Amino acid sequence: MLVLVAGSSGLLGRALVAELRAHGHQVRKLVRRDPATGDEHRWNPPAGTIDDAALDGVDAVVNLCGSPMTPGRWSHARKQEMKDSRIEPTEVLAEAVAERGIGTLVNASGIDYYGDTGSAVVDESVRAGNGFLAELSAQWEQATQAAEDAGARVVRLRTGVVLSDRGGMLRFLKPLVQFGLGAKLGDGHQFVPWISLPDHAAAMRFAVEQAVLRGPANLVAPNPVTNAEFIRRLGSRLKRPTPWFVPKAAMRLVLGSDAVEPILNSHNARPKALVDAGFTFRHERLEQALSVVL
């Protein structure tokens, strides 16, 4: 297949491009700067433009765009950028998919879609929750509508916490644990819906290839663990004790209530759509994933 990838320079995008190419697919990349290689094409999401040639003969579009949601206090301007950098590019790509009659759009979204769901088991039938990230995720998914209306197969990837040594949550957490500062957050009871980067890339390829998968899909491993268990296993892998805890109130005070959502909200999420469609995980247990990615 010929696959056009937006957000290909990011952690998930780089892994997807490698995965697709390793399995015989052709990849084109959309970039916001001047193209540097033959497989790159220019686009400008705020202006709503895509180099025409980028779309010729494309079988599927994958959208992994978005400004970083890194820890720290989230100002109003930063939150607006988080929204604009996701919703605008998605609308532009969905319109292009509709206009050019492209068969498939695989679009990033987040497990934060569900809001804080406590210990309840969450599959794709659960409705959107409350909070900044839940509302952003719902709008992000809604931005694919033009493609769906035109008859394209749209897959909405509700990605959990992707585990990799090269980026994402572990890039922040690993040095803390290595310095002996590994701590559970709050009471540590909140569920962490993790997935290994290799499984995430494989699941995205599966979403591109398998016509049976459409609509929302939780990209999380089948066995989420609590935050306390996650920190304990990470400490054990890195051979460091993790006796500390950070009170929730202190985190809210320092970071603000929106920025703590991705770390304090609980998602006991399951990959029902993926499993029902026949996807098999390589790393079903956290210990396996940590031993591979660290």
Ligand X SMILES: NC(=O)c1ccc[n+]([C@@H]2O[C@H](COP(=O)([O-])OP(=O)(O)OC[C@H]3O[C@@H](n4cnc5c(N)ncnc54)[C@H](OP(=O)(O)O)[C@@H]3O)[C@@H](O)[C@H]2O)c1
- By the criterion CB under 6 A, which residues form the site for ligand X? 7-13, 32, 45, 64-69, 85-86, 89, 108, 110, 159, 161-162, 167-168
Distance CA 162, CA 111 (A): 11
Tokens, residue 155: 């897959």
Minimum CB distance to ligand X, residue 126 (Å): 17
Q: Which is nearer to ligand X, 76 or 239 (CB)?
A: 76
Q: Which is nearer to ligand X, 84 or 245 (CB)?
A: 84
DSSP state of 114: G
Distance CA 114, CA 198 (A): 24
Distance CA 6, CA 131 (A): 27
Asked whether the beta carbons of 129 and 99 are under 8 A apart, the reply is: no
Q: Which is nearer to ligand X, 6 or 251 (CB)?
A: 6
Asked whether the beta carbons of 294 and 237 are under 8 A apart, the reply is: yes
Minimum CB distance to ligand X, residue 16 (Å): 9
Q: Is 93 helix (H, G, I), strand (E, B) or coil?
A: helix
Minimum CB distance to ligand X, residue 275 (Å): 19
The sign of the torsion formed by the CA atoms of 272, 67, 63, 135 equals positive
Q: Which element (helix H / strand E) includes 141?
A: helix 132-142
Minimum CB distance to ligand X, residue 221 (Å): 13
Q: Which is nearer to ligand X, 218 or 226 (CB)?
A: 218
Distance CA 179, CA 210 (A): 44
Asked whether the beta carbons of 203 and 264 are under 8 A apart, the reply is: no
Minimum CB distance to ligand X, residue 138 (Å): 14
**Rounded to 5°, angle at Cα 162 from 173 and 262:** 65
Asked whether the beta carbons of 188 and 226 are under 8 A apart, the reply is: yes
**Rounded to 5°, angle at Cα 83 from 82 and 88:** 120
Minimum CB distance to ligand X, residue 67 (Å): 4
Minimum CB distance to ligand X, residue 174 (Å): 14
By Cβ distance, which residue is nearest to ligand X? 10
**43: which strand partners?**
50
Q: Which is nearer to ligand X, 212 or 282 (CB)?
A: 282
Asked whether the beta carbons of 72 and 255 are under 8 A apart, the reply is: yes
Minimum CB distance to ligand X, residue 20 (Å): 15
Q: Which element (helix H / strand E) includes 199?
A: helix 197-209
Q: Which is nearer to ligand X, 33 or 243 (CB)?
A: 33
